[in-house]
Structure 1
Amino acid sequence: MLSLNAMGHARYSGFSGEASDMKVDNSVPFGVVALMCAHAAFLTPYIVLVHGERTNLFTSLLTLATFFVVVFISRRTFSDFGGWLWSSWEPCAWLTLGGLVVLSGFLSPERTASLYRSFAFFAPAFAGYWCGRVLLGDAFWQRYGATLFTALFAVLALGQIVYGAGLAFIAVHHHAMANMLIVLAVGPLTFFIRAKTKGKRIIWLGMLSLGFWAAYLVGSRFTILLPFVLLPLFACFGCIRKRYTCVATVIFLGVAVFFFFQNPSKMLHLKNYESIFYRVEGVPTAAHIAKQHPFFGIGLRASRAPYLEDYEMHSDLTDRDTYMRVVRNNVTSDNMLSTMVVGLGLLPTLLYVAMLAVYGRRVVSSFEPAQCGGLDNRMIGLALFSCLIHFTIQDGLLYPQLSWYFHLLLGVASAKEGLHADI
C-alpha cells in the first residue's frame, strides 16, 4: 500500500507485504497537470476542433489526456493504484455516470451537439477529480499546487486589471472569470492563513484584493455580493471575530454601493428583469420538461421551447411571450441543477449529486490546518462552497476549464484522507 510520511514522501508496500521507503518522483505528470491548469486558467492556446460547434472540445480533450499521462506515467510510483481502483465503489460510480451522460446525448433530438456537450461535461470532471486524487494527494506535490494556484491567480488578476479585454483569455463571460478567480484563490488563501507575521498577511491580503478588484472590473455582481453570504457564516461558526466581521461588512457594503452606482444596469429588479425572471421561472420549467423526459432528459444542446407549448407561468415577474423569447435564445437554464435535470435527466443528476454529497462529507470531515505547506482543506471547502452557490445562477460545470478546477479541488480534498481511504 502507499502512505505518506511527515516529509511528504511515500512509503510503498506491494501486495506481497514487503515494504521499503522511496521518494515520490512525479515531476513529469505534475508538470503536465501544471500545464493543464495554466491552459484552463487562460484558455491559451484555444483550438476549434469542430467548425461551427460552440462546445469547447479542445480543453475537454486536454483534461482527458492529462488524466492518462498522470495515471500511466505515475504507475511506477502508484503501482498498486489499479488494484485499489477496481476494488472501490468510485470507479463504478464514475463509469456509470459517464455511460448515463453519453446515453442521454445519444437519445437527444440534437444528438451530435448534445454528445459533444456531454463529453465536455464528463471528461473534465472525471479527469480533474482523479488527477487531484492520485497526484495532488501527495502532500509534497500539494505544496507546489498551492504555489501554482497562487501564480495563476496573480497573473489572471493582474492581466484583467492591466489589460482588460485586450487579452484573449479575458474575453470570457464575467461569471466564468469570477468562478476562475474563486477556485484559484485557494492558493493565496492558504498562504494567508499560514502567514506568521502581520507583514506577510498584508501581502497576501493585498493579492486577494487584486483578485476582488479584477472581478469588480469584469462586472461580476456575484463576487460583489458573495461576502454578504460568507461573512455571516464565518461569524456563526466562529471562523472570524465579530469585530472583524463588522469591519469587513462595512467595507464590502461600501464597495457594493459604489459598484451599483457605477453599474446601474446591474441593480436587481423584480419586474421584467431577465437575470431574475429567467432563473426563477427556470426551476418550474425544468420540472415541466422532466415530467416528459424524466430519465435521460432531452440532451444538453436541445432546445427547450418545443416542450413548453402548454407551459403556464408560475410567477408574475414577466409575461409568457417575453420568457419564451429568452428560452429560445438560450439552451441552458443558468442554474446547474436545472440544466442537468433537463439536459441529462434524473438518473445521471441524482447519481452525480449523491457523489458530490459523499465528497462534500470528506471535505468537511478533513478540515484541518495545512501541513507541509499543502493546500488547506478549509480554503478548499470555502472555494467549493462558493462555486456551489455560483452554480445556482450559472451553468459552471459546462465550462470545461471550471469543471476541471472544481473537481481537481474535490480530488485534493478527498486525498486528505489517504489515497486508499475506505468509504
Structure 2
Amino acid sequence: MQLENSHRAITNVRILDPETETVSEPTTLRIAHDRIASIGGEAEPEAEALDAGGRIAMPGLIDCHVHVLANTADLGRLGEESPSYLAITAMNSMQDALGRGFTTLRDAGGADFGLARAAEEELFPAPRLFYGGKAISQTGGHADMRAPGSSVMDSHQCCPHMGVVCDGVSEVRRAARHQLRTGADHIKLMLSGGVASPTDRVDSTQFSDEEIRAAVEEAEAANRYALGHAYTARAINRGLKLGVRSIEHGNLLDEESVRLFREFDAFLVPTLVTYERLKAEGAAHGLPQESQDKVENVLHAGIEALRLADEGGVNIAYGSDLLGGMRGWQSHEFAIRARVQSPGAVLRSATTTAAKLLRRQDLGTLSEGAAADIVLLERNPLEDVSVLSTPESSISHVFTRGQLVTGR
C-alpha cells in the first residue's frame, strides 16, 4: 500500500506524546510532502486519506547505535569482503529496521556518505542514516581487528573495516578530519577495550588525553560531536571530562559517571540486547572465541548501570549494536529496558531524547512542522512498552518522510 500524493491525511488516529506520556482523542494528522502540516480538524477533499481505525500514532523510532555494514559478528573478516556486497547487505538491514518502526538510524562505525546519500535520495526504502565513517582507534584498540601476528592495515576509506588505526595527536586529528571531510555527522572514538576486537582488554583505557581532546576539538570545529565507546567508569569519566558527548555501552559506570553525565548534559547509549544475543548465539554468527570469552565481563553489569543512570536523571538514548544475523532482535531492547525503566522513559530514549542527541528536534515528535516519520500501533506502549519488542504484531503501518512504506 503506497500513498503517492504529496498531501495526505491519517484520520481517526490517536497521537502519542512521549514527553507528556499522553494519548490524544481520535483526530486527523495531515502530511504535506515530508512534514506534518497540522493536527486536528478534517482531511482536505483532495488529500489521500488513511483511516487509522483508532490506532495510536507515535513518532518514528530512533536507534542510536547500529552498524549497518556489519553483516557478521566476526568483524575482522569484514576487511576481506567486497564493499559492494556489504552495501547491498546494509540496504537489506536498513529496510528490515524500517519495518520494525525505526525511521532513523545512527551508525556507530563503518557506514559512509554513499549509504547516507542513497537513503536521503530514497533510492531504496530506508531510514534516515546518520553516519560517522570509520571509528578511530589506537594501535591495539577496539577497532584494530588485526590478529597478534598481523601487521597489514586496511586502506579503504569507507569500508570494509569499520575503523581506522592511528596514534598520536596529529594522526588522530587527520583521521577525524578525513571523516568530517566526507560530511560525517559525528566522530566515533574507541575509549576502552571491547568485546568484538581480538587483542585488547575490556578494562583497558585507550588513547591519551591529548589524542581524545584533539578528536573532540575537530568535531566541535565542524559543529559536530564525538561519541565514545567505553565500558569502565575510568574510561567513561575520562571521556566525559574531555568533551565526549555520547558514551556508548557504559556497562560499568559508577556514581561519578552519573554526576558527569548530568554536569556536561551528555548522553548514555546502552546496548543491552547485543550482549544477550552474543551470549546466546554469537558463536553461530561468527563471533571468535576470544570475543566470546569477553562477553561475560559486561553481560550482567549493564542492567544495573541502566538502573543507576535512569535513577540519576541521565540522558539515555536507545541503542542495539547487533551484528550479522542477530540484528532481527533490534526491538528486543525495549523488553530489556522495561525491567528497570518506566514505559515513558523507554519511549523517550527512542524518540525525543534520541532526537536531542542527534540535534534534530524535528525528529522524535509528532507536531506541526516535524518530520512525517510515523508509526501506527495496535497497542498502547505507555501501558506496556515491551509490546514494541514484537513489531510484527504491534505495528500496523510505518511512514518515513511522509511516505507509507509498510502497512497491513
Normalising by the residue count of structure 2, what TM-score does the alignment of the two structures yield? 0.26
Higher strand share: 2
Structure with the larger RCO, 1 or 2 (CA within 8 Å, 6+ apart): 1
Higher radius of gyration, 1 or 2: 1
Higher helix share: 1
Normalising by the residue count of structure 1, what TM-score does the alignment of the two structures yield? 0.25
